[in-house]
């Protein structure tokens, strides 16, 4: 999920990555239902060497901070598994103030959730927050209906089952990221005319998405050639 003044995209040197490139609107992986995973799995983010779940989660958090977001789901880095990361800041309305170091210093708690299952504990819908997405840069809308409070059951990085309850903004973040694991994006939860209003912007994002996929394919081809 995107904070209000999120950077437009992350440009990554694929030969020496510090963060993952973000998959953008139009990428087929964002519409796939993600598979379950185990905390001991080895994961391969497309274009990168196999990593442990913990290593992937650490880089996802770094990617999220770099993009000045509040959450990031595995499909958004091209990995169709049921995992997302998220953070709770001291002040939900000020994620974008200050530099990266200050941003990290204001984190109350970070979350890495494997195979999360959400249960609504307050069915009353909240439409008051503005919502955006790191995979749809530059587009923000109010009115996305989200349950006011949820309970999330998940597995942590050590394989321990855990449960957490969240309300208001954090509940929205969890619901947004869980949607990604089922191929749902926040614009899908708004009237169709909202997406139509952003038709020009979305077409431009899709063009960037195709360019990124082309770059990733070329990078992978080079990697394979070097190994042979």
Question: What counts of helices (H) and strands (E) characterise the chain?
Answer: 5, 9
Rounded Cα gap, residues 122 and 145, in angstroms: 13
- The secondary structure element, H or E, covering residue 97 is none
DSSP string, 113-158: EEEEEEEEEEEEEE--SEEE-TTSTT-EEE---EEEEEEEEEE-TT
Query: Among 163, 169, 162, which residue's Cα sits nearest to residue 147?
Result: 169
- Backbone φ and ψ for 39, nearest 5 degrees, come out as -65, -15
Which one from 177, 193, 220, 226 is the annotated catalytic residue? Answer: 177
- Backbone φ and ψ for 71, nearest 5 degrees, come out as -165, 155
Task: Look up 66 and say whether it is catalytic.
Answer: no
Query: Among 108, 58, 67, 105, which residue's Cα sits nearest to residue 85?
Result: 58
Q: What are the helix (H) ranges across 86-191? A: 100-105, 168-180
Rounded Cα gap, residues 54 and 41, in angstroms: 10
| Active site amino acids | 177
């Amino acid at each position: 999920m995107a904070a209000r003044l999120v950077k437009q995209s992350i440009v990554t040197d694929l030969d020496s990555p510090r963060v993952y490139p973000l998959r953008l609107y139009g990428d087929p992986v964002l519409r796939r239902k993600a598979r379950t995973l185990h905390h001991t799995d080895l994961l391969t983010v497309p274009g990168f060497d196999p990593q442990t779940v913990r290593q992937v989660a650490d880089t996802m958090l770094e990617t999220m901070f770099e993009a000045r977001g509040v959450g990031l789901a595995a499909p958004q880095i091209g990995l169709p598994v049921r995992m997302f990361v998220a953070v709770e800041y001291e002040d939900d309305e000020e994620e974008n103030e200050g530099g990266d170091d200050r941003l990290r210093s204001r984190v109350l708690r970070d979350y890495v959730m494997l195979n999360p299952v959400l249960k609504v504990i307050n069915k009353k819908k909240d439409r008051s927050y503005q919502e955006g997405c790191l995979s749809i840069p530059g587009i923000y809308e109010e009115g996305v209906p989200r349950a006011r409070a949820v309970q999330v059951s998940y597995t942590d990085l050590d394989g321990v089952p855990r449960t957490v309850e969240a309300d208001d903004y954090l509940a929205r973040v969890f619901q947004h990221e869980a949607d990604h694991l089922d191929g749902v994006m926040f614009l899908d939860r708004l009237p169709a005319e909202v997406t139509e209003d952003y038709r020009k912007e979305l077409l431009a994002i899709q063009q960037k998405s195709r360019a990124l996929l082309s770059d990733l394919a070329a990078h992978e081809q080079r990697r394979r050639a070097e190994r042979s």
